[in-house]
Amino acid sequence: MVKLVLLHKADSIYDDEPDVVYDFPRSYLKAIEEAVGDWIVYYEPVKAGPRGYFAVARIESVIPKPGTEGRFLAMIAPGSFLPFDREVPRLMDGRPMEAALTEPDGGPKKGGAVQLAVRRLPEADFARIVNLGLPQDLELIEARRYEPQLPEFGEGAGTFERPVIERLTKRPYRDVAFRRKVRGAYGYRCAMSGLMLRNGGGRPEVQSAHIRPVESQGSDSVRNGLALSGTLHWMFDRGLISVAEDCQTILISHNKVPGDVVGRLLAPDGKLVSPENPINAPHPENLRWHRENKFGRSVPGEPVPWG
């Protein structure tokens, strides 16, 4: 197995969806087949935008692209995709993050390997990029964000160094990373009420909801998330509310949700609040899954917060 860098543009003309599938030509088939079962880092090319390295995922399998000669699909392992908490720049102190793109004097190479859409990535480079994008102490960073009085490490102590892959596969770590990205994408505002509420210590009350649950092969992509208040999160998970095919209109199970509750909880126009960056908007397929598998299927007799 081998780790790779995969180039991806948000407006790609190919059938790419970073948390689901990567579309590529035959020229990269051997490299990607070698990477099946291993991890890759996504990279946004210079001409596409400023993100640099922006996410990690694991390749599960490779299949021919149906109906398209000479193209293939790398299928991303469900539950493996994770966006970086901090996007990693292409250069740090003038030096490339990848050894293969570095001249002997430390400067960046031009042409050649730099232009490849698929690049092999040494283990050391992979670990360096991931540690910058997803810090070892992300959970502590989040905890101290609103409680700076939390005790520091004792003298001589440091953050427990968990192996990179162990960290990427632990649900508590991934939950923190997902929460930070989703809430930040919506500016800490509830996507259904439009409200931005904070407690006395400045901690945002908004939560991060998976549209398609992790246990149903939903990913930790921001596009599979909504920032929601606690009550609306509960209602969304139980299928009392959803989002229509236009990806904007909020659907309500009127036979289960009283009208006065709707008026108190949802934005007056009945529309989703858009994330600050359009590339983070909920993916239509995730919303479709929720409508077809969750909406209107709440458990009869389950206690409700307005009862």
> pLDDT per residue over 136-161, tens digit each?
999 988 888 777 666 654 444 445 56
Q: Contact at 8 Å (CB) between 199 and 216?
A: no
* Residue 129 sits in the same domain as residue 19: yes
Segment 251-290, tens digit of pLDDT: 998 888 888 888 888 988 999 999 999 999 999 999 999 9
| Residues 101 and 196 occupy one common structural domain | no
Alpha carbon distance 293, 295 (integer Å): 6
Q: Kindly state whether residues 207 and 125 are assigned to the same domain.
A: no
d(CA 90, CA 108): 10
32-65 pLDDT, tens digit per residue, is 999 999 999 999 987 767 889 999 999 999 999 9
Residue 159 lies in a domain: no
How does pLDDT run across 192-237, given as a tens digit for each residue? Answer: 999 888 776 677 889 999 999 999 999 999 999 999 999 999 999 9
Is residue 57 a contact partner of residue 18, using CB atoms and an 8 Å limit? yes
| Structural domain of 220 | 171-293
- Please check whether residue 267 lies inside any domain of the structure: yes
Shared domain check, 108 and 17: yes
The residue out of 107, 133, 159 marking a domain boundary is 133
How far apart (Å, rounded) are the C-alpha atoms in residues 39 and 211?
Answer: 24
Q: Are 258 and 307 in contact (CB under 8 A)?
A: no
Half-sphere exposure of 70 (CA within 13 A, CB side): 1
Instruction: Show the tokens assigned to 87.
Output: 């996007």
**The last residue of a domain, from among 133, 162, 188:** 133
In a domain, 165, yes or no: no
What is the pLDDT averaged over residues 99-116? 86
Q: Domain count of the chain? A: 2
Q: Which of 86, 114, 133 is the last residue of a domain?
A: 133
146 is a domain residue: no
Residue 161 maps to a domain: no
Tokens of 242: 């959803």
pLDDT at 304 over 80: no
The CATH number given to whatever domain includes residue 39 is 3.10.590
Instruction: State the Cα angle at 117 between 115 and 121, rounded to 5°.
Output: 95
Pair (195, 257) in one structural domain: yes
Q: Is 144 part of any domain? A: no
Q: Are residues 275 and 190 in the same domain?
A: yes
The two tokens of residue 297 are 């299927």
**176 shares a domain with 121:** no
